[in-house]
Chains A and B, each alone.
Chain A
Amino acid sequence: MADRSAALRFGTGADALSMATPAPGDLRRDLRLIAEMIEPGARVLDIGCGDGALLAYLAREKAVDARGMELSQSGVNACVRHGLSVIQGDADRDLDAFPAGAFDVVVLSQTLQATRRPRHVVEALVRIGNRAIVSFPNFGFWRIRLSLLWRGRMPVSELLSNSWYETPNIHLCTIRDFVRLCDEIGTKIERSVTLDRHGRPFSLDPRGGLANLLAEQGMFVLSGKAASVRS
């Protein structure tokens, strides 16, 4: 089974146990940005929660009702060992069991591109969460475009670190692709943030061409409520 979190997170499994209770400064920058968007006491589901770094931080700093879902057994076990409520599960298969509006916020960080049915997953996110925070590597980033153009080979970068034949990332998209998907399924984008490779934010209109060219990652806050009036 592909360990999707291991492919994109910088540490998983037993060697990263210390991450389960990180100091605020230790939390990965993009996760810290997500944490800032979450209200204290909220009901949060982190899908693809890896070793639980974000959940542990949210539980401690913001007293949220923190739940997680993770594909890899090592990630789940590390989380539960640290007292986090995490289930072994797969975003493609296991989101349908949750009722609508079960969570205030559903987080899908750097995982969408590894799902088999990304559209179904995004629809599930906005169904079960009042808000969904989705981040993913932007395949329209200029270096990726250049790499393909000049080298003629599938890009390998810090964020997309696997060769084409072993990557768990089977559904890569650009920021523009994602915005179009949101339009298609009638999901309202409440907020968008473009990030560089280190997770540092810079503000560009996600619908403009510049964001799609300059951002290495995209992070979107989707509104779950708009999903009920799908076009």
Chain B
Amino acid sequence: MSTVTAPLLKHPGKEWPGHTLVVSEPLRLDCGIDFGPFTIAYQTYGRLNAERSNAVLICHALSGDQYVAEPHPITGAAGWWTTLVGPGGVLDTDRYFLICANVLGGCMGTTGPKDVNPAAGEPWALNFPVITIRDMVRAQKLLIEHLGIEQLFCVIGGSMGAMQVLQWASSYPESVVAAVPIAGSARHSAQNIAFHEVGRQAIIADPDWCGGRYLSLGRNPAGGLAVARMAAHITYLSEAALHRKFGRNLQDRNAVTYGFDADFQVESYLRHQGSTFVDRFDANSYLYITRAMDYFDLAAEHGGSLPAAFPGTQPRFCIISFTSDWLFPTSESRALVHALNAVAANVSFVEIETDKGHDAFLLHEPELFATLRGFLTGCAEHRGLTRFWA
């Protein structure tokens, strides 16, 4: 990938804006390792009420982070859910206390493979333990307890965020009032694992990856990571959306050049996606987090029965899918609805018509906003949550 040039990670070990919690007690991970001490980096918006009943945990997706509603500290881009968060917004900061933590294994402040392994005095790299979605949620539970919150009003997230929402409902049903998994699934499909494997192999095949030890050696597999991001990004869009945005339009030229430059706008767009991603993301984190998604299978944790994954009194669910999402298609959400029906859980399920594909949960999608607002307001009234400034 000679066209993608990226510097070394610009901010190794830099302090990010926001809060951190240092967990000193080791956390038992699914892989059997007791991991710790480790750091959880998180952001909050709004304020916690006296009853501590208005907390909303936002779970970010694979390439997301805790900067939900403020400029990203590296790229300066707007927060990934700025459209939802604010006073009077769908995630109303005058009513809710919003929390978003960088996932375990991430690269924006929560301990991940790019951080220094104290025992070795160099970055963890591939010595970092393999983590799961459940491990991420276990870490979030520790954070919530640290904040003195017994019960979350809502856990919400899209894509990998939806996986965490489902894991919360499964592991800690009594700690969640409302669960909103968007464009998600109770398991990662074979096709999704296959796409992730392509991305990982692109990173591993980059000579600068160096068996994962690139940070210790002063190198960065930016080309491999960019290709991984490019391939993944295609899966986040729909054919219709790609066609609508780019068609076969050429990039800054009137004719094809009979070479391998980015003749087409869609190529230029993907290269841009790849090159900006490597500025803010760690290649090993990408390996670890995609692996966590691959391993996710809620039914498998419960003898192959998805209904069995939702014991006890379940939260109120609002399950949302998008018609053009072929990565986490509606059929996955419907399977989830059936499983929750089987345990007579309180479920709303909305499939939203859009051509924007999987990424629709991040975009301006009025039907999504109206659905979320209606559901959350209904749950808030049910809980007696009022706004601070009515």
Give A contacts to B, CB under 8 Å.
65, 67, 73, 76-77, 79-89, 94, 97-99, 102
Contacts of B351 in A (CB 8 A): 73, 76, 88
Docked CA distance A82–B372 (Å): 10
Shortest beta-carbon contacts, A-B, top 5: A83-B378, A81-B374, A97-B338, A87-B349, A97-B341
Given contacts A83-B377, A97-B342, 13 further A-B contacts (CB under 8 A): A73-B351, A77-B350, A80-B371, A81-B374, A84-B378, A85-B346, A86-B349, A87-B337, A89-B349, A97-B341, A98-B342, A99-B343, A102-B341
Give B contacts to A, CB under 8 Å.
316, 318-319, 337-339, 341-344, 346-353, 367, 370-371, 373-375, 377-379, 381
8 Å CB contact of A80 from B343, B346, B348: B348
Contacts of A89 in B (CB 8 A): 337, 349
A contact face: mostly helix, strand, loop, or mixed? mixed
Q: Are B350 and A85 in contact (CB under 8 A)?
A: no
What are 13 A-to-B residue pairs whose CB atoms are below 8 Å?
Answer: A73-B353, A76-B349, A79-B348, A80-B348, A80-B375, A82-B374, A83-B374, A83-B375, A86-B348, A88-B350, A88-B351, A94-B338, A98-B342
Q: Are B316 and A85 in contact (CB under 8 A)?
A: yes
Closest chain B residue to A86, Cβ basis: B348
- Given the interface contacts A77-B370, A83-B378, A84-B378, does A98 sit within 8 Å of B349 by beta carbon? no
Distance of B317 from chain A, by nearest CB (Å) = 9
Q: Are B350 and A99 in contact (CB under 8 A)?
A: no
Docked CA distance A84–B347 (Å): 10
Docked CA distance A27–B70 (Å): 46
- Given the interface contacts A83-B381, A84-B378, does A77 sit within 8 Å of B346 by beta carbon? no
Docked CA distance A80–B341 (Å): 17
Closest chain A residue to B371, Cβ basis: A80
Contacts of B319 in A (CB 8 A): 87
Contacts of B348 in A (CB 8 A): 79-80, 84-87
Contacts of A85 in B (CB 8 A): 316, 346-348
Contacts of B343 in A (CB 8 A): 99
Q: Are B344 and A98 in contact (CB under 8 A)?
A: yes
- Given the interface contacts A83-B374, A83-B379, does A102 sit within 8 Å of B349 by beta carbon? no
Contacts of A80 in B (CB 8 A): 318, 348, 350, 371, 374-375
Docked CA distance A67–B341 (Å): 11
Contacts of B371 in A (CB 8 A): 77, 80-81
Docked CA distance A99–B308 (Å): 13
- Determine which residue in B316, B337, B353, B374 has the highest number of CB atoms from chain A within 10 A of its CB, and name it: B374
Contacts of A81 in B (CB 8 A): 370-371, 373-374
Contacts of A97 in B (CB 8 A): 337-339, 341-342
Contacts of B346 in A (CB 8 A): 65, 67, 85
8 Å CB contact of A87 from B339, B342, B344, B347: B347
Q: Are A99 and B379 in contact (CB under 8 A)?
A: no
Contacts of A83 in B (CB 8 A): 374-375, 377-379, 381
Distance of B348 from chain A, by nearest CB (Å) = 5
Closest chain B residue to A67, Cβ basis: B346
Closest chain B residue to A96, Cβ basis: B338
Q: Are A102 and B374 in contact (CB under 8 A)?
A: no
Distance of A166 from chain B, by nearest CB (Å) = 22
Distance of A3 from chain B, by nearest CB (Å) = 14
- Given the interface contacts A81-B374, A83-B381, does A99 sit within 8 Å of B342 by beta carbon? yes
Contacts of A73 in B (CB 8 A): 350-353
Closest chain B residue to A98, Cβ basis: B341
Docked CA distance A94–B339 (Å): 11
Distance of B310 from chain A, by nearest CB (Å) = 13
Contacts of A76 in B (CB 8 A): 349-351
